[in-house]
């Protein structure tokens, strides 16, 4: 009987999972023993971190987009028709176009959905770069045409994709207006629900020092409740208000619509998974990876990569009849752009608290280098380099050796 392996979602996590499975099970696919099916959102694959440079440096989205077909290995069958329903009980997927597919194992890589409409007035009164390339272009148009006044970057919900992005946005705005020679005419402010400019103290210390040096303000304990797009004011639950000329939002995020409508996720649509094996709660034939899950780590490409590698290895091992199991250790590594060709790297695991690599030109070059190899990285050609960089992030252990991990959301 043919083993049917399905992946839902063609972002970073889904594309990697499909290609990892193809690499490990190529001979079985060619022998007709395994079928790998990727149900994607469409023909184009966008490099999500590029939204930041589209929004604040004017990069064009087309320069950071490729055909999904060109990124997949030939052993993967690609369906460019989004999933409309996922039935975990009956092991089936229904697409928007009405096609149905059954599976033996499924990997859910459905991502996170930026939802500014969850806060009254936010969608009408702000722009954002998290909802996709077209939204990032609207940010750029607003910034490019801005001449003077108050710009607020508001964290309007958590968790959200790329936690360093609110601070990075302000650093890039500072750099841009300095290059235009009008920095003195523009007031930049971070509006955050936290007591610091960044939740982790050691990162906040670096960020706040640079904020002070560059004249960037912080409104702490500002949990946005509503926005009035006519008067251009944002109101907080704490009773504070902020008048702006341009509001750039980090909008609330939730799990993908297909997850919510399929009744898979929690109240916010995040898929509940075992945080080490990535198995969906109550379904040992289903897995979740990347931004779609409730795993208590940053929603980032590195997490999606490491989780996808673990899941693909375990599925392949089961099919091959191998002993042992791979586990995800919670490793994240997320760059924060600081403007002026400087970047710092934020890292952590389940066992190790958040740490930072000091701002440097070397880190900036490393980030730019990764951006350049992203497309070939999706093909799994750079495993030797990733293993050297991340070290032993996924340990192969016997199944009875599972240890306790932090509680998930």
Does the domain formed by 115-253 have CATH 3.50.50.60? yes
Residue with tokens 């722009």: 127
Annotated domain spans of the chain: 3-111+256-328, 115-253
For 385, other C-beta atoms within 10 Å of its C-beta total: 12
Residue 206 C-alpha from the chain's centroid = 23
Q: Residues for the chain: how many in total?
A: 409
Q: Are the CB atoms for 191 and 219 separated by under 8 Å?
A: yes
Cα dihedral 153/247/249/366 (nearest 10): -50
φ, ψ of residue 394 to 5 degrees: the values are: -130, 105
**CA distances in angstroms from 116 to 57, 122, 221, 241, listed in the order given:** 23, 6, 20, 18
Give the model's confidence band at 379: pLDDT under 50 very low, under 70 low, under 90 confident, else very high: confident
- How far is 155 from 188, CA to CA, in rounded Å? 14
Instruction: Name the average pLDDT for the chain.
Output: 91
- Of 107, 142, 93, nearest to 11 by C-alpha is 107
Calculate what percentage of the chain has a pLDDT beyond 90: 81
Q: Which two tokens stand for residue 111?
A: 């991502």
- How far is 156 from 49, CA to CA, in rounded Å? 19
Label residue 34 exposed, middle or buried (CB < 10 Å: 0-12, 13-18, 19+). buried
Q: What is the pLDDT of residues 276-309, one digit of tens each?
A: 999 999 999 999 999 999 999 999 888 999 999 9
Superfamily of domain 3-111+256-328: FAD/NAD(P)-binding domain (3.50.50.60)
Window from 109-113, 246-250, 321-325 with minimum mean pLDDT: 321-325
Tell me, yes or no, if the two domains 3-111+256-328 and 115-253 fold the same way: yes
**CA distances in angstroms from 265 to 86, 262, 316, listed in the order given:** 11, 8, 26
Q: What is the pLDDT of residues 153-187, one digit of tens each?
A: 999 999 999 999 999 999 999 999 999 999 999 99
- How far is 138 from 141, CA to CA, in rounded Å? 5
Give the residue ranges of DSSP H helices in 67-121.
68-71
């Amino acid at each position: 009987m043919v083993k049917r392996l399905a992946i839902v979602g063609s972002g970073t996590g889904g594309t990697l999972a499909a290609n990892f499975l193809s690499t490990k099970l190529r001979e079985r696919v060619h022998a007709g023993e395994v079928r790998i099916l990727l149900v994607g959102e469409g023909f184009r694959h966008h490099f999500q971190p590029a939204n930041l440079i589209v929004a604040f440096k004017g990069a064009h989205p087309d320069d950071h987009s490729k055909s999904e077909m060109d990124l997949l290995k030939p052993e993967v069958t690609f369906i460019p028709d989004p999933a409309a329903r996922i039935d975990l009980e009956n092991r089936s997927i229904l697409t928007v176009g009405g096609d149905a597919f059954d599976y033996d194992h499924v990997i859910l890589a459905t991502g996170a959905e930026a939802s500014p409409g969850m806060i009254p007035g936010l969608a009408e009164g702000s722009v954002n770069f998290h909802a996709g390339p077209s939204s990032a272009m609207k940010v750029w148009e607003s910034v490019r045409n801005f001449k003077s006044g108050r710009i607020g970057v508001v964290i309007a919900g958590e968790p959200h994709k790329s936690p360093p992005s609110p601070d990075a946005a302000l650093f890039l705005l500072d750099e841009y207006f300095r290059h235009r020679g009008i920095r003195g005419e523009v007031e930049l402010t971070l509006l955050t629900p936290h007591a610091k400019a960044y939740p982790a103290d050691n990162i906040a210390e670096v960020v706040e020092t640079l904020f002070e040096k560059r004249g960037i303000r912080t409104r702490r304990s500002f949990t946005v409740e509503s926005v009035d797009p006519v008067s251009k004011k944002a109101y907080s639950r704490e009773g504070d208000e902020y008048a702006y000329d341009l509001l750039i939002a980090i909008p609330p995020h939730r799990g993908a619509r297909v997850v919510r409508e399929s009744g898979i996720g929690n109240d916010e649509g995040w898929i509940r998974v075992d945080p080490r094996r990535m198995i969906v709660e109550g379904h040992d034939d289903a897995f979740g990876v990347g931004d779609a899950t409730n795993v208590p780590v940053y929603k980032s490409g590195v997490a999606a990569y490491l989780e996808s590698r673990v899941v693909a290895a375990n599925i392949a091992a089961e099919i091959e009849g191998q002993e042992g199991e791979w586990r995800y250790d919670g490793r994240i590594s997320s760059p924060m752009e600081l403007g002026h060709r400087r970047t710092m790297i934020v890292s952590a695991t389940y066992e190790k608290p958040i740490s930072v690599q000091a701002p440097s030109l070397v880190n900036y070059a490393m980030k730019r280098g990764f951006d350049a190899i992203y497309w070939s990285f999706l093909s799994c050609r750079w495993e030797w380099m990733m293993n050297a960089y991340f070290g032993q992030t996924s340990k192969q252990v016997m199944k009875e050796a599972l240890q306790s991990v932090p509680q998930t959301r």
